[in-house]
Structures are given as C-alpha cells and as structure tokens.
Structure 1
Amino acid sequence: MGLLQATTPNSDSPLESINSLKIKLFTEKLEESGVHSLKSKETIQTMQMNVGKICNLSCKHCHVEAGPQRTESMSQAIMAQGLQVMADHGIKTLDITGGAPELNPNFPWLIQKATKLNLQVMTRTNLTVLDDEKYGWIPEFYAEHQVEVVSSLPYYTEKDADRMRGNGVFQSSIKMLKALNTLGYGQEGSSLKLNLVYNPGGAFLPAAQQGIEADYRRVLLNQYGITFNNLFVIGNFPVGRFLTFLRNSGNLQRYMEQLAGAFNPSTVQNVMCRDMISLSWDGYLFDCDFNQMLGLPDSPKHISACRKEDLCVREITVHNHCYACTAGSGSSCGGTVV
C-alpha cells in the first residue's frame, strides 16, 4: 500500500501515462454500461472558478500542483466575465477554488459581486492561510457574506494530516476551525455552512463516506469541541502531484486497476461534470478541475466567447482518469455521488 511521500518529476506526459496502462479504456466501460457519449445536463447548476495556483502549502496529493512559487492568478476581468456568464445562463452556484483562493488579491471583490448577484457562494480553503495575520479578517468576511466554507482536513489525527500537508498544518487547521465555529459556522441552527473534505493518505480507495464522517464528528467534537455540517470524501485523482507519486512509487498500474475494478455504472449519471463548468485562472472553460489540470480538451473555449452550447448538453471529454469519479460510491468536489 503506497503512502504519500515526496516525489520527483517523471518525463512522460500525464495523459499518456494514464491512457497507456493495461486497463480497459474508460470510454469502453461507459459503452458497456449503455453510455455512448457522456453529455452535460440541460441546466448547469455550478461554475467552479479556479482563481489561481498560488498556495501557502505544497500538499503531496494536490492535483493542481499549487504552491508558494506559483504565479498564476485570475484577473478581475476574467472573474467579471465568469459572473456575467453565470447571470446570462442562470447558473446559481459559484464554487471558488485554487490554490488558496484567499491569496488572489481579487478574491474579496469576487465574493462581494457574487453576493450582490444573489449567487450561492462557496469557497474551498486549506484553513492554514486564515491563520496568517494578513488574512485574519477573512473568516468574518465569509460570515458577513454568508459564504459556505469547504475546508480541507485530510485526516483527524495530527500525524497523518501533517504527513500529507506539512508540519504544523493540523494544529493550525484546528485553530481556524474553532474560530469559524465561534462565528457560527457549523453550528446547529446556523445558516453558516462549514463542510470538511477528506482525502485518502495514499494509493488506495476511501472507505464509506458515512463511516468516515462519523469518525471525524466524534474525534473533532470530543478532543477539540469542533462541530461541522458535512464531510465530503474525495478520492485521490491520478493528476498532478498524486500522479507523480503514483508513477515514481510504482503504484500507478495497481491504483488504476483498483479504480477500474471498482467502476460503478450507477455513478455515471451523477458525475459532477454533468451539471457544472470549470473556469481556469486565465479564462478557459473545462468540464471539471481535473480536465483543466490535464489541459483537456486541447483547444478549450474562452469565457469571453461562451455560448449556451458550450455549457448545456455539451459532450464531455473523458479519459482513464475519469475512473476516479466512478469508482465505488463515486467521487466529486461534493463527496460521493451515490
């Protein structure tokens, strides 16, 4: 069983390394389940904006390969175009991700504008960035604008969380979860939503979401007095740093065999790419954040030229990495799908 440790680059392209494995192609698996072409729904519910790859952490499982040395950051102009497309096409939910979204200087502007448009706004955070004095005002800003907070917490023990994300990360995360609780986040009867995200600590599939959530809820409450609304289990995708780890540790073939062997046809109709669209920091549209990091398709549409057919009932680009969304109970940015 492979556990996440430091990795070094591999020369093969990410897509080649995934698609050249000795497993059945994902497209063939879809056809066997009666799906000859995966298409998005008639109504898109969510735009996920990846506002940049700058992050204060360099997590070993990060599909974005984000970190302090990255420079990619979404401009206010691209954000405005994204919000306009949402307004034009009735997209109701804005899901902000990164990197660490808080490190984009236009991040507060984006939330303020989205709130004025009456959008449901959610942001993903690694929590530790909020522990920086420079960004200490952000939790109250979230509460003021009713932003749903989705917090990454790879595990509820310090040793395992720090192994994936770096020394001191767990205690910093606990500190900020307590601060969010104090503001009303994750509290019974409060409208302020606080959700957590769990990722497996290596090259294996996650256990059932319900059981993991119960463990998190018990440990965080009993040991730290922390409460939250929901826990999302997200499997590790063979993209970015996790793909590098799989290749360099010799786990890629075995892990992809696990994913393909756990393919669940009932997940296909509920995969997240069917009712969402992903917007890159430089303004290009993708089916999901994972396709975005792989550059699929090769010639994506720019937000400035977006048409309804680029969103609704569009053909979704799929490759073998998509097994990660359809294994077992499925996986999405909102947890399991069945």
Structure 2
Amino acid sequence: MNFTDRIAPQIRHTDKISTIQVNLGKICNLACSHCHVEAGPKRTETMSKETLQAVLEAISAHKFSTLDVTGGAPEMNAHFRWFIDEAAKITPHIIVRTNLTILLENGYEDLPKFYADHSVELVASLPCYTEENVDGMRGRGVFDGSIEALKRLNALGYGKGGNLVLNLVYNPGGAFLPGDQAELEADYKRELKSAFGVEFDHLFTITNVPIGRFRRSLEKGGKFEPYMQLLEANFNPNAAQNIMCRAQISVGYDGALYDCDFNQMEGLKAHGAKDIFELAKSGELGRQIVFRDYCYACTAGAGSSCCGALA
C-alpha cells in the first residue's frame, strides 16, 4: 500500500517545528557503503557562508530550540567553527553528527575541545562494536580510529552522564530491521567498556533507508523488493505518530528546504518557503509533508529517526 495512505490524515501535516537540521555538504573523509548522502572525499558540494548566515537568521526568527548539524562530515565545511560559534549565541541546543575519525585528521584535532567548550551534543556513527563489521561498512582502520576518538572525547568529560552528551548510532549491516534499542545499548556499553574502557550516554538505532548507495546495493543483490516488503509488513502506527519530519525542517547545502535529510537526498523539496533565505524572512513553518514509500523505514518495528527508535 502507498505509504501516504497508511498515515492518519492528522499526521500528514507538521506539528510544532522545534528542530532545524542543516546539511553542511557532501564532503567527507569516508565513503561508507550505507551512506544515503553518498558522501565522500571527492564530493565538492558545501554550504556557503552566505547560506549559513541565513540559517542563523532563521534560527533567530523562529526560535528553534535545537540546531542539528550534519553532512557528509560537517566539520569539513570551511565555515564550520564560525557557524558553531555564532549558533551557540542564539540557540540552547546544538547537535553535531560526526563520524569520529575526522577528529583525528590533520587540522581537526582541536575539535573535541572546541565541542566541549561549546557544550555541543555529539551523535557519533558506530554501526557495530566489532572491528570486522565497522571496517566492512566504512573502510579499513575506521573502527580503530573511532575508538581512539571516543577515548579522547571521554578524556574531556564526554559520555559520562553529565552535560557533555555523547550518543552513538547503530544501523544494521544489511537488509534487516535493528534489534531492540535498549538491549543493543546495553550490549554496546558492556562491550566497549570492557574491551576499550570507552563510555557513552545513549545508543540510537536507525533503520537503513532504501535510497542512495544502500538502495543500489539492494538492487544489485535482488533484495530491494523484499526489503521494501519487510518495511511495509512491519508498519507501526504508534511509531508513525512520532515521525521526525513533523517537528523539523531540513536545509540542504544550497539552502533549499526539505522535510527530512532523506527527502533532501532524493531532491523532494518541502512545501512552503522555497529556501532558507525566504524562511528567514517569513513566519510560516506549518506545511503538508511530502511522503514516499521509503518512509516505511521510519515507521517499521520500533520506528526510526535521527534520534533513534520512536515507539
């Protein structure tokens, strides 16, 4: 069944918009097999300072309570530090989504302290707690680099249950749904603490959305249709009520507006203001949400969002 037909009419429209998620570009030091952004070292798309300034103006105009910064590796945007400096003056909650390994690269080693100084919440991708699985998805040496970065963050006070929040993200290594979030969090905490002395606050489970590189890998293996059937068969109306697009607006590197980062990668623009420049000047955030059948990934099982399970 068409996804839109499964969604109750009252939740096809946005609720109160509290989060502005900003994609700073597709440049990344990694090229992960599951990346819906299809980011990598050879990409050149990046947000300009002019567009970032418009984001700041929109935050001030609409009083967004959360700024969620993503990429690519958002840290590789040339104006990243300036943007976080300015945003910290006007919004109480900043999230940066990091791949961890960028924090070890030349020119970026100062970022852990920079994050701590600005009380930035970090959401770090670590799709498994074993080297074999992580390196298989993200490239050789990524697991070891991630562990080293986590240790450096722990040394600054991140992941200790205080105000420096460090959350990890798990996503399945194939065409299946994630396990129970609480159980996986317990497994991660036990394994990472015992093997490496690493601590973190929470684990978010995120279902792989069948777009980008992941879709192509499914199609190549003849698994796309079975995976879509799996997502649809596990539709959860309780999760559907909490889908993240109802409470956020997503900004592309060029300033265009979307309902979520997934629609952004598919080029499906949001209704309403056409870009961040218009949004910074106009007052209307409410809109009908643009859905596609891959949205079943956000409502299957316990649900999925950029902050983990929904139900």
TM over 0.5: yes
Q: What residue in structure 2 maps to residue 215 of structure 1?
A: 187
Residue of structure 1 aligned with 2:2, choices 15, 18, 25: 25
Per the TM alignment, residue 298 of structure 1 is displaced from its structure 2 partner at its CA by: 8.3
Cα distance per residue 1:119-165 (max 9 Å; x no partner): 31110000011111321011000001111011000100000000000
Q: What residue in structure 1 maps to residue 242 of structure 2?
A: 270
- Is residue 2:14 matched to residue 1:40? yes
Q: What residue in structure 2 maps to residue 149 of structure 1?
A: 122
Per the normalisation by structure 1, the TM-score is: 0.89
Cα distance per residue 1:182-233 (max 9 Å; x no partner): 0000013x21000000010001111111111110000001111111110000
Q: What residue in structure 2 maps to residue 52 of structure 1?
A: 25
SS at match of 1:121: strand
Within 2, Cα distance between the matches of 1:292 and 1:133?
Answer: 30
Within 2, Cα distance between the matches of 1:186 and 1:321?
Answer: 33
| 8 Å contact kept, 1:205–1:235 | yes
1:1-338 matched pairs, under 5 angstroms: 24-30=1-7, 34-35=8-9, 38-41=12-15, 43-188=16-161, 190-297=162-269, 301-306=274-279, 307-309=282-284, 311-312=285-286, 314-338=287-311
Which segment drifts farther, 128-137 or 48-57? 128-137
Gapped regions of structure 2 (runs ≥ 5):
none
Within 2, Cα distance between the matches of 1:203 and 1:253?
Answer: 11
| 8 Å contact kept, 1:37–1:315 | no
SS at match of 2:124: strand
Within 1, Cα distance between the matches of 2:11 and 2:310?
Answer: 19
Per the TM alignment, residue 28 of structure 1 is displaced from its structure 2 partner at its CA by: 2.0
Per the TM alignment, residue 82 of structure 1 is displaced from its structure 2 partner at its CA by: 1.0
SS at match of 1:134: coil
Q: Percent identity?
A: 51
Per the TM alignment, residue 303 of structure 1 is displaced from its structure 2 partner at its CA by: 1.1
Which amino acid counterpart does residue 70 of structure 2 have in structure 1? Answer: T
CA RMSD of superposed structures (Å) = 1.3
Per the TM alignment, residue 37 of structure 1 is displaced from its structure 2 partner at its CA by: 6.1
Which amino acid counterpart does residue 284 of structure 1 have in structure 2? Answer: A
SS at match of 2:268: coil
Which segment drifts farther, 46-55 or 294-303? 294-303
Per the TM alignment, residue 260 of structure 1 is displaced from its structure 2 partner at its CA by: 0.1
Within 2, Cα distance between the matches of 1:249 and 1:104?
Answer: 35
SS at match of 2:235: coil
Within 2, Cα distance between the matches of 1:229 and 1:298?
Answer: 33
| 8 Å contact kept, 1:149–1:194 | yes
Within 1, Cα distance between the matches of 2:167 and 2:53?
Answer: 27
Within 1, Cα distance between the matches of 2:9 and 2:114?
Answer: 44
Which segment drifts farther, 115-124 or 102-111? 115-124
SS at match of 2:122: strand
SS at match of 1:135: coil
Aligned residues: 308
Within 2, Cα distance between the matches of 1:159 and 1:83?
Answer: 41
| 8 Å contact kept, 2:235–2:301 | yes
Which amino acid counterpart does residue 308 of structure 1 have in structure 2? Answer: G
Cα distance per residue 1:274-332 (max 9 Å; x no partner): 000000000011000000000113887111112333x22x1000010100000011000
Within 2, Cα distance between the matches of 1:308 and 1:25?
Answer: 32
| 8 Å contact kept, 2:63–2:91 | no
Within 2, Cα distance between the matches of 1:239 and 1:110?
Answer: 29
Within 2, Cα distance between the matches of 1:115 and 1:303?
Answer: 19
Gapped regions of structure 1 (runs ≥ 5):
1-23
Within 2, Cα distance between the matches of 1:114 and 1:36?
Answer: 33
Which amino acid counterpart does residue 90 of structure 2 have in structure 1? Answer: L
SS at match of 1:277: strand
